[in-house]
Structure formats: structure tokens, C-alpha cells
Chain A
Amino acid sequence: MFSEIKNRFATDDVEVKRKGLYKVVVKHERLFALIVMLKEMYDYKTLNTITCTDWIEEGHFALTYIMTTLKRNETFMLQTMILREEAHTKSLSYLFKQAQIMERDLHEMYGIKFEGNENLKELSLENWVHTPPLRREFDTLEFVNNHLTFRDGRDDNIDTKAESKRLRAIKKAEKEAAKKAKESKKAEDVQ
């Protein structure tokens, strides 16, 4: 299987992670042929999940398709890179029905367009007009500071670190004063 993948899909990036867990990195245009081949010839009938990793420095998204065969209990991870600006790929929903909702989720969270997916409406967000929230250029804290109000702290709220430092200094001073008084008393007694 591996030699066939290497020859047909022109990739050296086939990795055996452990027994029954393989990973391959392929070019985007060859991905779907590979998926069809794995499904039809090697019994990878289950698409477990589609995940996306945002490599903002390199300027691309890494899409990972995880497929399983129950016949031999093997898992295949197929990784491909797509450009970040375009964020455009083909849908897998004609091969696997479950891909429809996975792609809908990725479209919502990363803004990736899946050509051929019939419903890419928002899944868990509602009326979201800002940057897709899981893209790394989306600054969550800045968004929260701009859009939401925080509760002010209590009036008697104190910086615990500074306060404990101050209390410790007072205690130390008291201790030293007591020590000095004791010593002076001793000296008086001796005299």
C-alpha cells in the first residue's frame, strides 16, 4: 500500500506512527484521489474527523482527514496544505455524508469554503460578522475588551502580594523591637 501511494501520489511523506496508525502528507490536488483510493481499494470506509491547523507564519492551513478501517483496525491521517488567503477546497460530502457537518464547522470557525457543500450556514454561532474566531489573527482578548464590559473590582480589593509584603515587614519590625527591648532589659538587669 505504501509503495503504491508513494509512486502514484508522488510523496515521500508516508510515516508509520505506530502499528496501525499511518500519516501521509500529500499535495492538495492529489488528496481526493487518494481518499477515493483508500476508501474503495483499502476499505477505509469511515471518515472520523476533519481538523484544521492554522499555520499563520507559513501562510497556510493544514487540513487533516482521519480515516479508519474496522476490518484491520487501522487509522490513516491524510494531511494537506491549502493557502490561507484563498481558503478554498472541495467538499467531501458526496463521498462521506458526515463530512457535511464537519465542513460546516470548519467553514464557521476558519472561513474555509468547501465547494460542493450544499449547506455552510452557521452551526453554533449566530449572526457572526467578525473574523472567524479560530483563525489566529482573531485576537480574542482585544475583541472582548472592545465588545464586552467587565465588572469592576471590589472597593476593598487589595493587591495581595503587596499587602502580604507590607504585613511581613510590620511583623519583622515588631519582632526586632521586642528583641531589642529584651536585650536592653537584660543589660539593665546585669547592671
Chain B
Amino acid sequence: METGFLQEQKVLEGDLNSENSHQNSVDFLMNWFRKQSIFVLAYGTGCGAIEMPPTFTSRYDAERLGIRGAATPRQADVIIVSGYCSYKTLRRIIRTYEQMSNPKYLLALGSCTVNGGMYWDSYNTIKKLEDYLPVDMYVNGCMPRPESILEGFIALQKEIGEGKASSWQKYEENYEFYRKNQEAVLGKKVEPSYEADWYLYEGGL
């Protein structure tokens, strides 16, 4: 097996007969870098967010796979939609997702994002996340344990490495479809307002 610079040389020349032949060597390298360092937005919705701290801290230690947290959406590569997603949350998720820079990936946790889960007859919870935002990887379970989350991340890394995870391109290409679905449940004004009326109304607390 070739190692060191021989391996690199092989990568740079590109192997047209391999299964990754649709990628040129630059693409391959870029995807390889991307998959080795995944910054996950510190954002949680629903109950699945409780599984994320053990995933990222010493017990399951996702950092050994190059997965670690990012503070703001502009710095993040991956957003995790961890659990049920009400209309109100969906607004915030859309805003956050659109703020993230390309390439960006979306990982959906739990059965609620797949088909509504136990909220299947809730008036205020969406049933299929992929109608509103493009999903790269679903991790099912209620709730998925940190092992499953890591498995989902590894599958996502594999897809990134092969150049198959391209949901952000899908979102740009089919923006009308997504926007139409978003407006169907959220009304014409999809973006949330920044008004903090919880504690700052006239004559408030």
C-alpha cells in the first residue's frame, strides 16, 4: 500500500476508474477535508437536544471523528434538527439554515422529523421535515442514543467524502418548492420577527 507522498500523488492525479471518478482530484481533496472537520451548530430543538451534550463531551467524544461544536450559524457546517419541529421552531430553523454558509448539511434526529412521531396528530407540528428543508441524513429512534447519532455522523461523513451530500444545492435549485411548502404552513411571512414581546411589551413587566 502506498503511503505518504505516493498516496498524495495518486490522489492528485486522480483515478478515473475508481467509483469516485465523477470527482476530480480537487473535489476529492476538498471533500476529504470537509469530512474530517465537521462543525456542528450548537442548536437544539425538541427533546433530542439532550442527547447532544454526551455525544460531544468526553463520554462519547465526537471530537475524535473531527466533529465539534460551532457557536454561530455562519461558522457551522451541520445543523441538527433534534426532534419535533413546531411551526414556531420551523421559522427559526429556516432562518438559521439560510444564514449558514455553503457547504451546509442537515441532520435530522428522531422519528418526529421522519413522520411526526408521537406528534402525528398535533395541530402545531410538521410531519415531514424534508418538505420544508433538504435533509442529508435521518437518524431514527425516539430518542436516538449518542451511538446512533455518531453512526449518523459517520454515514454523513461517508456521503460528504463521496461528494453525494449536496442538499444545499438541492435547496437552491428547488427553492420554489420549499418556499411553497413553508408558506403553506407558516403564512406569507416565513421569517420570524426579532421583536422580543415576551418581556418588552408596552407597560410590560
Check if A160 is an interface residue, CB within 8 A of chain B.
no
Q: CB of B15 within 8 A of chain A?
A: no
The listed residue with most B CB atoms (<10 A of its CB), out of A133, A148, A150, is A148
A126 at the interface (CB under 8 A from B): yes
* Residue in B87, B115, B204 whose CB lies within 8 Å of A126: B87
Alpha-carbon distance A32/B114, docked complex (angstroms): 49
Interface assignment of A73: CB less than 8 Å from any CB of chain B? no
Contact A148 B91 (CB under 8 A): no
Determine whether the beta carbon of A118 is less than 8 Å from that of B185: no
Given the complex of chains A and B, what is the CA–CA distance between A149 and B129 in angstroms?
Answer: 11
- Beyond A149-B131, A150-B115, whether A118 also contacts B123 by CB under 8 A is no
Question: Does B126 lie at the interface of the complex (its beta carbon under 8 Å from any beta carbon of A)?
Answer: yes
B88 touches A125 (CB 8 A): yes
Cross-chain contact B123 with A144 (CB below 8 angstroms) = yes
**CB pair A147 B185 closer than 8 Å:** yes
A151–B202 CB distance below 8 A: no
Instruction: Take A149-B128, A150-B115, A151-B115 as given contacts and tell me if A124 and B88 are in contact as well, using a CB distance cutoff of 8 Å.
Output: yes
List chain B residues, Cβ under 8 A from A7: none
Interface residues of A in 146-180 (CB under 8 A from B): 147-151
Within 8 Å CB of A149, what residues of B?
127-128, 131
B21 interface residue per 8 A CB criterion:
no
B127 in contact with A150 (CB, 8 Å)? yes
Question: Among the listed B87, B192, B203, which residue makes an inter-chain contact with A118, where contact means beta carbons less than 8 Å apart?
Answer: B203
Residues of B contacting A126 with CB < 8 Å? 87-88, 91, 192
A-contact 0/1 string along B76-96, CB 8 Å cutoff: 000000000001100100000
Specify which chain B residues have a CB less than 8 angstroms from the CB of A144 in the assembled complex.
120-123, 127
A140 CB-CB contact with B under 8 Å: yes
Asked if B116 lies at the interface with its beta carbon under 8 angstroms from chain A, I say yes
Query: A3 near B: Cβ within 8 Å?
Result: no
For A151, list chain B residues within 8 Å (CB). Answer: 114-115, 127-128
* A62–B131 alpha-carbon span in the complex (Å): 41
* Alpha-carbon separation in the docked complex, A40 to B112 (Å): 49
A119 touches B201 (CB 8 A): yes
Contact assessment for A133 and B115 in the assembled complex, using a CB-CB cutoff below 8 Å: no
Interface string of A29-59 (1 = CB under 8 A from B): 0000000000000000000000000000000
Cα of A127 to Cα of B201 in the assembled complex, Å: 17
Cβ of A148 and Cβ of B126 under 8 Å apart? yes
Task: Tell yes or no: A96 within 8 A of B by CB.
Answer: no
Per the bound structure, the CA–CA distance linking A124 and B115 in Å amounts to 23
B187 touching A127 by the CB < 8 A rule? yes
Whether a CB of chain B sits under 8 angstroms from the CB of A2 is no
Contacts of B184 in A (CB 8 A): 147
Is A70 an interface residue when CB atoms closer than 8 A count as contact?
no
Interface: B173 (CB within 8 A): no
* Alpha-carbon separation in the docked complex, A98 to B122 (Å): 28
Q: Does A136 contact B (CB under 8 A)?
A: no
Name 28 A/B residue pairs within 8 A (Cβ), A-sorted.
A118-B201, A118-B203, A119-B203, A119-B204, A121-B201, A124-B88, A125-B124, A126-B192, A127-B187, A127-B189, A133-B123, A133-B124, A138-B123, A140-B121, A140-B122, A140-B123, A141-B121, A143-B123, A147-B123, A147-B184, A148-B126, A148-B185, A149-B127, A150-B116, A150-B120, A150-B127, A151-B115, A151-B127
Interface residues of A (CB under 8 A from B): 118-119, 121, 124-127, 133, 138, 140-141, 143-144, 147-151
B: which residues have CB within 8 A of A?
A: 87-88, 91, 114-116, 120-124, 126-128, 131, 184-187, 189, 192, 197, 201-204
Apart from A125-B87, A126-B87, what 6 extra A-B contacts exist at CB < 8 Å? A133-B123, A140-B121, A140-B122, A147-B184, A149-B131, A151-B115
